[in-house]
């Protein structure tokens, strides 16, 4: 099976870009990734592009060929939609295309433009990732849904809002060095606890912002990389994709995420590693409780143990397992179609030493990226390793 080399990464700043179009932002990210890789657009064989609400936010369907054109090519392309896991799944499918021998060079990434919809419009658009018949029509939004998951977790395992506040503080601190981050501001535990309540137990700082942005990566075969003398020292060695029921009421537990667990098992088996081999992680923290659920779903913590990890310092920059050194969705931002690719790009640059927080993991050789859709009805997990 062909090894998948990661040759380049590109990203826009995440934030509010009211005067930019989706194609404009993806062009910036995709062309930056190609330039970083040293690969001309004419050598790209396929584009895998993640996007969730583009038909609502820009009235634009059929975005695959549009985004290929933005990169200066007309290669076969496809838009992949899996809610907030859209570009995580785009990366997953791109890995398969390289491994199966279908392509030598692929671009995988995604884009989302949401701030132009306003808070109410974006909230409504994002809610379509839940079950319309049984959840959306009953008034469920994602702050409410994740709040239910947090309360279920507290009921089963314990924990407090202060534990979640430590996660927010950590991720805001990590984002201070990230030029691409949406929220580059320091906060305290008191700030997080005293902020306006949005859905008990959450306050404003438990939630990620509504963001615009794009991210892309370039994947190649070892043969192409060697022939073109590319610096591609990081490889995606494991890929997994898991699923769960859409509606929360159909699940056996609201405090566990089987989609992440199943994706992680597949990715670890694929890479031939154990959770204990992982030195750094980027996980899907759309709400602070989501970081807890992700760490436990990934097998990095036992159930009930990750809730205190940030408070204990274990997942901070100087901890045993630094998590979300980019700032995570919480502070880096969450343009949903771009998030999965951005997470993979963050791990790649942390491992190759070019990330602004790479000094925290200068000896790391194995990292993991976990991307979730909706209330983790879908999830992707990718293992990245430094290659000798």
Domain spans of the chain, in order of start: 4-117+209-386
- Residue with structure tokens 């999830």? 379
| Contacts (Cβ under 8 Å, ≥6 apart) of 5 | 219, 220, 221, 222, 225, 230, 232, 234, 235, 387
For 350-384, b where at least 16 C-beta lie within 10 A, e where not — what string? bbbeebbbbebbeebbbbbbbbbbbbbbbbbbbbb
| Contacts (Cβ under 8 Å, ≥6 apart) of 222 | 2, 3, 5, 232
Q: How far apart (Å, rounded) are the C-alpha atoms in residues 348 and 350?
A: 5
From first to last of its 388 residues, the chain has per-residue pLDDT tens of: 789 999 999 999 999 999 999 999 999 999 999 999 999 999 999 999 999 999 999 999 999 999 999 999 999 999 999 999 999 999 999 999 999 999 999 999 999 999 999 999 999 999 999 999 999 999 999 999 999 999 999 999 999 999 999 999 999 999 999 999 999 999 999 999 999 999 999 999 999 999 999 999 999 999 999 999 999 999 999 999 999 999 999 999 999 999 999 999 999 999 999 999 999 999 999 999 999 999 999 999 999 999 999 999 999 999 999 999 999 999 999 999 999 999 999 999 999 999 999 999 999 999 999 999 999 999 999 999 999 7
Instruction: Determine which one of 17, 84, 166, 180 is catalytic.
Output: 84
Q: How far apart (Å, rounded) are the C-alpha atoms in residues 294 and 259?
A: 10
The H or E element containing residue 118 is: helix 118-127
Q: Is 208 a catalytic residue?
A: no
Q: What's the order of all strands across the beta sheet hosting 213-220?
A: 77-80, 46-50, 105-112, 213-220, 4-11, 234-243, 378-386, 366-373, 280-282
Please say whether the beta carbons of 347 and 367 come within 8 A.
yes
pLDDT score at 2: 81
Chain centre to alpha carbon of residue 187: 22
Six-digit token string for 115: 């701030």
Could you read off the pLDDT of 287-329 as tens digits, one per residue? 999 999 999 999 999 999 999 999 999 999 999 999 999 999 9
pLDDT score at 388: 74
Please, which residues bridge with residue 219 across strands?
6, 106
Q: How far apart (Å, rounded) are the C-alpha atoms in residues 367 and 381?
A: 11
Instruction: Determine which one of 92, 241, 334, 355 is catalytic.
Output: 334
- Using CB atoms within 10 Å of the CB of residue 55, give its burial: 0 to 12 exposed, 13 to 18 middle, 19+ buried: middle
Interaxial angle between packed helices 161-175 and 288-297, expressed in degrees from 0 to 180 and rounded to the nearest 10: 90
Domain 4-117+209-386 has CATH 3.40.47.10: yes
Q: Is 334 a catalytic residue?
A: yes
- Residue with structure tokens 């194995």? 366
Q: Do the strands 46-50 and 105-112 form a parallel or antiparallel pair, or are they unpaired?
A: parallel
The H or E element containing residue 47 is: strand 46-50
Q: How far apart (Å, rounded) are the C-alpha atoms in residues 232 and 251?
A: 41
């Amino acid at each position: 099976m062909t090894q998948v080399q990661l040759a380049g990464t590109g990203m826009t700043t995440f934030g509010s870009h009211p005067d930019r179009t989706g194609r404009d932002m993806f062009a910036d990210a995709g062309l930056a990734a190609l330039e970083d890789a040293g690969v001309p657009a004419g050598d790209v064989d396929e584009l895998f592009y993640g996007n969730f609400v583009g038909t609502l936010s820009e009235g634009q369907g059929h975005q695959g060929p549009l985004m290929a054109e933005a990169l200066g090519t007309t290669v076969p392309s496809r838009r992949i939609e899996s809610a907030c896991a859209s570009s995580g799944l785009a990366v997953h499918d791109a890995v398969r295309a390289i491994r199966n021998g279908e392509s030598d060079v692929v671009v995988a990434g995604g884009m989302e433009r949401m701030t132009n919809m306003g808070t109410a419009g974006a909230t409504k658009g994002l809610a379509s990732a839940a079950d319309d018949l049984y959840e959306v029509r009953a008034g469920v939004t994602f702050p409410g849904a994740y709040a239910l998951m947090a309360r279920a977790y507290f009921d089963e395992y314990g924990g407090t809002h202060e534990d979640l506040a430590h996660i927010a503080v950590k991720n805001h601190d990590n984002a201070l060095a990230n030029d691409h981050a949406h929220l580059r501001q320091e906060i305290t535990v008191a700030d997080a606890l005293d902020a306006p309540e949005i859905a008990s137990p959450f306050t404003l700082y438990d939630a990620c912002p509504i963001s615009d942005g794009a991210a892309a990566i370039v994947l190649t075969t070892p043969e192409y990389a060697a022939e073109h003398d590319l610096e591609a020292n990081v490889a995606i060695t494991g890929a997994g994709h898991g699923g769960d029921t859409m509606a929360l009421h159909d699940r056996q537990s609201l405090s566990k995420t089987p989609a992440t667990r199943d994706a992680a098992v597949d990715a670890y088996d694929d890479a031939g590693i154990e959770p204990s081999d992982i030195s750094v992680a980027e996980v899907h923290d759309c709400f602070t409780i989501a970081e807890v659920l992700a760490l436990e779903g990934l097998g990095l913590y036992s159930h009930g143990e990750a809730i205190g990890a940030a408070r204990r310092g274990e997942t901070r920059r100087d901890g045993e397992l630094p998590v979300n050194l980019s700032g995570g969705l919480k502070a880096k931002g969450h343009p949903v179609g771009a998030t999965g690719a951005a997470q993979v790009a963050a791990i790649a640059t942390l491992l190759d030493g070019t990330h602004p927080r790479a000094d925290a993991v200068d000896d790391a050789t194995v990292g993991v990226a976990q991307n979730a859709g909706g209330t983790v009805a879908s999830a992707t997990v990718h293992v990245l390793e430094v290659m000798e």
